[in-house]
Structure 1
Amino acid sequence: MTDIAVPDTAHNPAAQQGYPPMPQTPSALMVWALEARQAGQIANSLAKTSFVPQSLRNKPADVTAAILAGQELGLQPMASLRSMDVIQGTPALRAHAQRGLVQSHGHKVWIEAGASREKVVMKGQRREADGTYGEVQESVWDIPRAAEMGLTGKAEWKKQPQTMLTARATGEICRLVAADVLYAMPYNSEELSDGSAEPTPVRVTARVDTAEILANAETAKRAARPVSGPPTELRHEQPDLGEDDSAWDDVQVAQPADANDGAA
């Protein structure tokens, strides 16, 4: 008699839910895909409840993304939903959750005594792999600094300036001390909500034309190709720019600004 292999669905969660059975050694991507489906089922149940922040309510797809993003940061589903907002399409942790997450990895973050509606000083130390702590980092946020960035005229800054100063200092010190912990969400929701968490634009100091841009790109492309046999002379061909390239006449290349120009 010939034995017939029967799929074992009892120990295969994917098969139990009607999905194609997973191989004996599933890839990390396959595991993630199954977890995403499970997160989606949870999201459909929670999206309409008051446990979900207003920015995520009735948006099961966004709730799913929040749960998965929180999982990558080490947060449980409900903790993710209580700690995260979506600001203009960008997910972000709230300042208190950002601070707590960094502290949960063993790093030190604290507010110096004397914090007020005018000034907040926050300090932190990174915990190294050998258990020691690195140099103390400091973030100072005060009303003059916020005013320079155009923040003090915003509603939340008028109502609770100390809270907003603390949130700003939290985001800055956490990025200084534990950027690897926050790699997926470097800015907190308070920073994003006032619309000024964007990087400072670099200064433009050089100009190039379309031909130079495309010629350099073609040269780099040819140079990157694997070479078999004796090397041949690299040809510099003029790229076809089409009938009208006037839209590219004013193309500018951004160069890094001088370090002294961006000093706060």
Structure 2
Amino acid sequence: MEGNQTEAVAISKTYSFEGLLDFGNKIIKSGLTPLKKAEDVVAAILLGRELGLTEMVSVNNLYSVNGKASASIHVINALLQKAGIVIEVINNYEPCVRTVMKGADGKPELDEQNNPIILREVFASEVPLEHEIKGKKIVNYKTIVKLTRQVKQPNNTYKDMTVISSFSYQDAVMAGLHTKDNWKNYPKVMTLNRALAFGGRLIGADILLGLYETSELADAHNVNYSVNNDGKVTIINPVVSPNANTEFIEEVDEVSSSVDNSQNTSKN
């Protein structure tokens, strides 16, 4: 009986602030989370509970970047698919070329400055229209994803909702991202992550609740991070003093003691 009671207390303790801090320190020491501070572990767990995630998933996939919550692309995809959203990658960093207007002689139509009249950007594999000539020079790489879900209507019927989301190398250039190491080393991964995150927030606003993908916030706030071939983003935190978490806990205990003493004094 005593063993069961002890186990129950240990489990319930993780639902108190002090228990979560203790759990945070232990999980950091175990090396099973990339987070470096117990407070960050607590924040990840609390956010994870709002999203329906387990504690270990939360401490490995949720980050606070400059005061804003973020999640790995894997968690975002999991939350969307769990809600019944179908994700389809239509084009994955495929090369694009430009088309120009075709003249009556079958050659490019020229403008007043004798330059070919550019019509649009298409995928290199795409068949041009009858009035177009497709160029050979690659001018962009583009990723397109399609997200679909069924949305309940007022009359209790369901209607398909579809979102087409895209991100390209030129989008990264416009945002000044193309010079960053992660974008230079993993452009295909990064464009897919960004397209999925954009589309996910549009079609699953009620699911993600404004949650950003981690690299979005890291890029916006110039926070260092690493990414692997699978798209997993890890924030590179500065070195934290070994006593940082202990000092935080002692500070909380000190405040609690002060409050208790003041209450006892007032009673006397």
Counterparts in 2 of 1:69 and 1:114: CA distance versus 1, 3 Å: closer
Q: Percent identity?
A: 28
2:198 corresponds to which residue? 172
- Letter of the aligned partner of 1:134 in structure 2? D
Counterparts in 2 of 1:121 and 1:40: CA distance versus 1, 3 Å: same
Match of 2:218 among 193, 207, 225: 193
Q: Deviations along 1:163-207, whole A, 9 cap, x unmatched? A: 110111011010111011111x5211011111179xxxxxxxxxx
| Cα distance in 1 for residues equivalent to 2:78 and 2:206 | 15
1:41 corresponds to which residue? 22
Is the Cα contact below 8 Å between 1:95 and 1:190 reproduced in 2? no
C-alpha RMSD over aligned residues:
3.2
| Cα distance in 1 for residues equivalent to 2:145 and 2:59 | 26
User: Does residue 72 of structure 1 match 2:13?
Assistant: no
Q: How does 1:49-60 map to 2 (within 5 A)?
A: 49-53=30-34, 56-57=35-36, 59-60=37-38
Match of 1:81 among 53, 59, 62: 59
Is the Cα contact below 8 Å between 1:94 and 1:189 reproduced in 2? yes
Deviation at 1:159, TM superposition (A): 0.7
Counterparts in 2 of 1:47 and 1:90: CA distance versus 1, 3 Å: farther
Deviation at 1:87, TM superposition (A): 2.5
Deviation at 1:66, TM superposition (A): 0.5
- Letter of the aligned partner of 1:49 in structure 2? S
Q: Deviations along 1:5-55, whole A, 9 cap, x unmatched? A: xxxxxxx99x968xxxxxxxxxxxxx9x945444333222212222111xx
- Letter of the aligned partner of 2:220 in structure 1? G
Secondary structure class of the residue paired with 1:128: strand
1:125 corresponds to which residue? 148
Is the Cα contact below 8 Å between 2:201 and 2:211 reproduced in 1? yes
| Cα distance in 2 for residues equivalent to 1:36 and 1:110 | 41
Is the Cα contact below 8 Å between 1:149 and 1:196 reproduced in 2? no
Is the Cα contact below 8 Å between 1:125 and 1:133 reproduced in 2? no
| Cα distance in 1 for residues equivalent to 2:69 and 2:30 | 19
Structure with higher strand content:
2
| Cα distance in 2 for residues equivalent to 1:187 and 1:114 | 21
| Cα distance in 2 for residues equivalent to 1:114 and 1:193 | 23
Is the Cα contact below 8 Å between 2:66 and 2:221 reproduced in 1? no
Match of 1:143 among 148, 160, 169: 169
| Cα distance in 2 for residues equivalent to 1:101 and 1:128 | 16
| Cα distance in 1 for residues equivalent to 2:221 and 2:200 | 17
- Letter of the aligned partner of 1:106 in structure 2? G
Counterparts in 2 of 1:126 and 1:37: CA distance versus 1, 3 Å: farther
Structure with higher helix content:
2
1:96 corresponds to which residue? 74
- TM normalised by structure 2 equals 0.55
| Cα distance in 2 for residues equivalent to 1:102 and 1:114 | 19
Consecutive unaligned residues in structure 1, runs of 5 or more: 1-11, 18-30, 198-264
Is the Cα contact below 8 Å between 2:93 and 2:168 reproduced in 1? no
Deviation at 1:111, TM superposition (A): 1.2
Moved over 6 A (4+): none
Where relative contact order (Cα < 8 A, 6+ residues apart) is larger, the structure is 2
Consecutive unaligned residues in structure 2, runs of 5 or more: 96-140, 223-268
Deviation at 1:85, TM superposition (A): 2.6
